[in-house]
Structure 1
Amino acid sequence: MSLTKRELAALIIVGGAIPAHIMAAERPDATSYPGRAITLIVGTAPGGGTDILARRIATHMTEDLGQKVIVDYRPGASGNIAALAVARADPDGYTLFLSTRAATLHKTMYPHISYDYAKDLAPVALVAKMPLVIVAGRHVEAEAATLPDAIKASRAHPGKFSLATIGVGTTNYLLSRILQEAAGVEWVHVPYQSAPVALRDVIAGRVEFLCLPLSSALAHINAGSVRALAVMSALRVAEVPDIPTVAEAGFAQAGAEDWFAVMAPAKTPSPVIERLYRSVNRALADPAEQEQLSRLGFVVPSSSLDPVAVGALIAEDTRKWTAILEAWQIKGLQ
């Protein structure tokens, strides 16, 4: 049951109280939710690793929840356009955000975007972790067959080489900045809104290097259209054991994984958060889905974290990376 605007205005004018049973009916709970389609907003254009993961999770959630989960694309500002849309949405569980680390650092990297990630969004579930990789176009293979070769050539020819990332403020951008600082080189930065477009330009020889999620690069690495120089991690990745790490090249400080988490608007009712949490983790508990995500370059969490634990993980990760940005003097768009 719901009140029309006229009925609500009449109650206010006469000083009447809205009946408790009507208020309860207006708030979704675990038994009535969901009653219609859910939108899962992602902060990238279609075609990359984020899109692949979002569509797989949406498919499983659709089956589990009995309502369509629609993936909506809002690229721009390293996911912060998407985050802002969800932060301003009604807290009813029908608008969700597939977040990465980049959105948590908006106060440093995109301070002009007016929302507060920690206050305006509520954690639902950790979906996956995401190794990153730096690749090179085949047109520079003679000079940059390995990461040490690429750094040597870049030192010898300052300003000659360019590096693409999927936007200022993304983890691939931050790690590539740290790598350049640690190696004493500077590549011309070419930001893109999506991995497929960036890969196309690297393959075509318009850009030399690209740092991006492994999930977006894996098919091209396997096809031989780009050459993997290093995974941005301390340990080799099981799915691509032949690719060395940045740590092996002497740049352990440039190694870190990114992560994906489903977020909802703050003040979303707890029963709705709990229902969404169960739905996401039922998908991730499927051994066949775990194997498929691994083949695609993702790392599924070994155990599920409840929303409170996900919130604690994100808060600690944000503190850590805010300090890293300060230590390396990395600033965003002012």
Structure 2
Amino acid sequence: MSDISTAFASIQKVALKNIDLSDKKYQISVPKAFSELCKSIEMLGLMHPPLVQKITSCNFSYRVVSGFQRIRACQHLKIECIPCHVISADISAFDCAKRAIADNNCQRPLNILEQSRSLALIKKYLPESASFQSVAKDLGLPASQKAINRISPLCDMLANIQEGIENEYISLPIAHSLSKLPSQDAKTFANLFAQLRPGLNYQREIFTYSYEISKRDQITVTEILESQAVQQILSSDGDRKYKINTIRNHLKCLRFPQYSNMEKKVHQQINNLKLPFQTKLSPPAYFEGNTYLLQMTFKNAAELQQSLADVLSKTNAIEDILNIGK
């Protein structure tokens, strides 16, 4: 009989005091609140026994392969002994890793961080004769090289970044960018995004402006984001959207002071035109080029004629706006 077939030959009663929960060699998931799991165990018992491996240790007899949350929940409920699938000490680390991944994957779809930890387990214990991508595919993990390159590094990133990924306030592209920064700067970004929870585009803008300012001025990102100006915005009474926009605009002004001054001047001059609300004059994006956009909405020919007449009566003032920055 093979190792695989004998591994689950019997379920044994195991005392919780003999299980080493500090040994996280095969842990894939992150500890979470388990109140619902506790209720389920109290009501129905432990329906899916954890998987443990015999070990030779002075203090413990077993390490956890899969089922950390279930064991913690039983510990919380002060249960002394639980049924466990027990595998022998001679089962290889690679086989244990595969069982840990398969067991977790069977219970729920693995999130992207769990996928990263699973890929790391495979890579760590993969025999020379085995194909990494084939094993990943067989275990239901992303197996294309592009996906592996994108997902694998996540489990080695700072805890702050991983928390942001897991709670969906740090996007994957930004997480990769943060991982290349000094740890303190990465933590500062992660803390800011945790507080504001901006969308991907705002994350990109805030990251890019801050990073480029730090390189230009030879200061750290932390100095920029912990400046008095930014902290005043964060502590203001504005809502989350207001704070995101205000910080983004503040950083944009720092990054492009000449552009920002020109933008303010142009918009002030446009406001001074007092165009009808149906008419909108917009400068070229980032003032690249000389083409302005004039938009009009109207219900009939009379409204159009009136709007055109109003614009044409202000051609001198509009000409002054067009000459700003030339």
TM-score range, shorter chain: under 0.3
Rg comparison, structure with higher value: 2
| TM-score (norm. length: structure 2) | 0.23
* Greater length-normalized contact order (CA 8 Å, ≥ 6 residues apart): 1
Q: Compare the two structures and name the one with the higher strand fraction.
A: 1
What TM-score, normalized by structure 1, do the two folds share? 0.22
